[in-house]
Chains A and B, each alone.
Chain A
Amino acid sequence: MTDALMPLSPARGGAAIDLSQAAVIFGRGAKATRALQPTTLRINDGEFVALVGPSGCGKSTILKLVSGLIAPSGGVVVVGGREPSAKAARIGMAFQNPTMLPWLTVEQNVMLPLKIVRPFRSEYRAKRKTEFRDRAHALLDQVGLKGFAAKYPWQLSGGMLQRANLCRALIHEPRLLLLDEPFGALDQFTREELWGVLQDLWLLHRPTVLLVTHDLKEAGYLASRICVMSARPGRILDDSPVEFPRPRTVAMTFEPDFVALNQRLRARIVEARGGSEELAR
């Protein structure tokens, strides 16, 4: 199932992501918006962390900090032992909006990281028609997009684009995966299927994963640790390990322990939104 992804040389040890008192403010002066309150978060190599919290609390902002797309307004962000820059860390990122380049086919979009990221880029010219293409097709098959490789992004539905987006984040076998609600636009069943795909990948290669999601069941199924954020501007309220055995199954999500975890997290989020249980009922 995962033969599209070749084994990786393990290079790990220590924290993969280290945010200390990292804060983000967009804009200046009177127009300034505080997007993230000083936040401290440490993620070890090979961990699978889910980040949940109310809308607008700064989850995407954290991902952008880690990927180096924005710089912290305060505090320190260290990724893979240095200042975040995707060059060094080999990051795979699935954005919240699946921004495919409209002039490339789905397949070309998925192969884009291979064209940019070392060490693949030097081989891109030679292999894009054979090996890399096979890899892209294998991934697309896995997420149920067989036969859509040659289509253009506008010919796909929102959920299909999201799946292609996931493929693009995975194709270069990143050591660090940043996924921003990658299954948000999918139906329950496709979503559960892709949970399985992602779990298998993680079990096989053990990349560090930071997954943003609104789905507590998804967080419980996939993550080895769940962080709950407070309402805007956010900070991390709760950080708890998830210790269910792996590989996990959808059936497990109906077991009492799992449901109990879900309910506890739910309560924290209700609290984080500043609402009371009464209102939420």
Chain B
Amino acid sequence: MTDFAAVRRKLWAVVLIVGFFALWEVLCLALGVSDLVLPRPSQVFATLFERLPILWPHILQTLMTTMIGFVGGVVIGVAIGALIGVSKVAYDTAYPLLIGFSSIPKVAVVPIFVLWFGSGTVPAVLTSLIICFFPIVVNVATGLATTEPELEDVLKALGASKFDILWNVGLPRVMPFFFAALKVSITYAFVGTVLAETVASNRGVGNVMMSASSNFDVPLVFAGLFILAALGVALYVAFSLIERRVTGWATRRDDFAAA
């Protein structure tokens, strides 16, 4: 019964996506929209496959840059988040600073990175890092800070050390928050990379889109968008799959309990 419902939901998701593209195609044809304004999905896909050999290195570049920035952001985010979440003092003192940091528009930071490190991969990595680490910090800190004292008491009554408590209660308790943050952060990381690539790089999908738009190669611009969307979705799905295995307890999933 549940299996059937799940399959049906997935089916609907596919129908929605296909329908979206079909509607786009039909509307463009019906209204006679020029491909300089809005190319049809069929044109975009055609461009995508045609130019894939040229695009491929750029895709890898963007993916790599994003992943490095993302992993860096996660590591730093978890470290700072854990510190803030565990210590009330750190929570109260560091939060305003963090909010300040996260309020800075990241576009404004790219030129500074370029100034420091020159244009290329480094500013892109750093931009995606700073843009994606904040949700991780907030979620990890919130998860730890809101851990039910009763759960901690179970371990405290056994004479557990601070580390034991963090490892056995804090860590599992934080997982749902952590994965929620990962899914947001991975999409942010792409935004960061592409942002830096458009401004200050000669490689990557962002740069391709930039130069394509200055050549009025609108289908290629859209091909770039599609690639970014596809990469984002792929990583999101990957994290969702891991999440389901790790944090099924939080949603009381039947398939988790059976496993």
Interface residues of A, Cβ cutoff 8 Å to B: 67-69, 85-88, 91, 93, 95, 97, 99, 101-103, 112-113, 115-117, 151-152, 154-155, 172, 178
Interface residues of B, Cβ cutoff 8 Å to A: 148, 150-151, 153-160, 164, 168-169, 172-173, 175, 247, 249-250, 252, 256-257
Do A95 and B154 have beta carbons less than 8 Å apart?
A: yes
Q: A98 to chain B: closest CB distance in Å?
A: 10
Contacts of A102 in B (CB 8 A): 249-250
User: Known interface pairs A151-B257, A155-B257. Does A101 touch B158 (Cβ–Cβ under 8 Å)?
Assistant: no
Contacts of A172 in B (CB 8 A): 158
In the bound complex, what is the Cα–Cα distance between A66 and B156 (angstroms)? Answer: 12
In the bound complex, what is the Cα–Cα distance between A95 and B149 (angstroms)? Answer: 12
User: Known interface pairs A99-B150, A101-B172, A151-B257. Does A69 touch B157 (Cβ–Cβ under 8 Å)?
Assistant: yes
Q: When the two chains form the complex, which single residue of B148, B168, B175, B250 contacts A112, counting CB atoms closer than 8 Å? A: B168
Contacts of A68 in B (CB 8 A): 156-157
Q: Which of B150, B156, B157, B160 has the most CB of A within 10 A?
A: B157
Q: When the two chains form the complex, which single residue of B154, B159, B175 contacts A99, counting CB atoms closer than 8 Å? A: B154
Q: Can you report 22 A-B residue pairs in the complex whose CB atoms are below 8 A from each other?
A: A86-B159, A91-B157, A93-B157, A95-B153, A101-B151, A101-B154, A101-B168, A101-B169, A101-B172, A102-B249, A112-B154, A112-B155, A115-B168, A116-B155, A116-B160, A116-B164, A151-B257, A152-B249, A152-B252, A152-B257, A154-B252, A172-B158
Do A113 and B249 have beta carbons less than 8 Å apart?
A: no
Do A112 and B158 have beta carbons less than 8 Å apart?
A: yes
Do A99 and B156 have beta carbons less than 8 Å apart?
A: no
Do B153 and A91 have beta carbons less than 8 Å apart?
A: no
Do A99 and B151 have beta carbons less than 8 Å apart?
A: yes
Contacts of B148 in A (CB 8 A): 99
Do B257 and A116 have beta carbons less than 8 Å apart?
A: no
In the bound complex, what is the Cα–Cα distance between A91 and B172 (angstroms)? Answer: 24
In the bound complex, what is the Cα–Cα distance between A116 and B167 (angstroms)? Answer: 11
In the bound complex, what is the Cα–Cα distance between A93 and B154 (angstroms)? Answer: 8
In the bound complex, what is the Cα–Cα distance between A68 and B153 (angstroms)? Answer: 10
- B154 (CB) vs chain A CBs: closest residue: A99
Contacts of B158 in A (CB 8 A): 86, 91, 93, 112-113, 116-117, 172
Q: B58 to chain A: closest CB distance in Å?
A: 42
Q: A151 to chain B: closest CB distance in Å?
A: 7
- A93 (CB) vs chain B CBs: closest residue: B157
Do A99 and B153 have beta carbons less than 8 Å apart?
A: yes
Total residue contacts A-B, CB cutoff 8 A:
64
- A118 (CB) vs chain B CBs: closest residue: B159
Contacts of B151 in A (CB 8 A): 99, 101
In the bound complex, what is the Cα–Cα distance between A116 and B249 (angstroms)? Answer: 22
- B172 (CB) vs chain A CBs: closest residue: A103
Q: When the two chains form the complex, which single residue of A85, A151, A152 contacts B159, counting CB atoms closer than 8 Å? A: A85
User: Known interface pairs A99-B151, A101-B151. Does A69 touch B156 (Cβ–Cβ under 8 Å)?
Assistant: yes
In the bound complex, what is the Cα–Cα distance between A44 and B61 (angstroms)? Answer: 72
Q: A113 to chain B: closest CB distance in Å?
A: 5
In the bound complex, what is the Cα–Cα distance between A144 and B157 (angstroms)? Answer: 25
Q: A172 to chain B: closest CB distance in Å?
A: 8
Contacts of A117 in B (CB 8 A): 158-159
Do A91 and B159 have beta carbons less than 8 Å apart?
A: yes
In the bound complex, what is the Cα–Cα distance between A115 and B155 (angstroms)? Answer: 10
User: Known interface pairs A101-B169, A155-B257. Does A95 touch B150 (Cβ–Cβ under 8 Å)?
Assistant: yes
Q: A23 to chain B: closest CB distance in Å?
A: 21
Q: When the two chains form the complex, which single residue of B168, B175, B247 contacts A116, counting CB atoms closer than 8 Å? A: B168
Q: Which of B150, B155, B158, B175 has the most CB of A within 10 A?
A: B158
Contacts of B247 in A (CB 8 A): 103
Contacts of A113 in B (CB 8 A): 158
Q: A180 to chain B: closest CB distance in Å?
A: 11
In the bound complex, what is the Cα–Cα distance between A102 and B153 (angstroms)? Answer: 14
In the bound complex, what is the Cα–Cα distance between A29 and B60 (angstroms)? Answer: 62
Contacts of B168 in A (CB 8 A): 101, 112, 115-116
Contacts of B175 in A (CB 8 A): 103
In the bound complex, what is the Cα–Cα distance between A28 and B150 (angstroms)? Answer: 21
In the bound complex, what is the Cα–Cα distance between A200 and B28 (angstroms)? Answer: 82
Contacts of B157 in A (CB 8 A): 67-69, 86, 91, 93, 95, 178
- A153 (CB) vs chain B CBs: closest residue: B249
In the bound complex, what is the Cα–Cα distance between A53 and B255 (angstroms)? Answer: 45
Closest 3 CB pairs of A and B: A87-B159, A86-B159, A103-B249
- B254 (CB) vs chain A CBs: closest residue: A155
In the bound complex, what is the Cα–Cα distance between A154 and B256 (angstroms)? Answer: 12
- B256 (CB) vs chain A CBs: closest residue: A152
Q: B149 to chain A: closest CB distance in Å?
A: 9
In the bound complex, what is the Cα–Cα distance between A103 and B164 (angstroms)? Answer: 16
In the bound complex, what is the Cα–Cα distance between A95 and B151 (angstroms)? Answer: 11
Contacts of A152 in B (CB 8 A): 249, 252, 256-257
Do A86 and B156 have beta carbons less than 8 Å apart?
A: yes
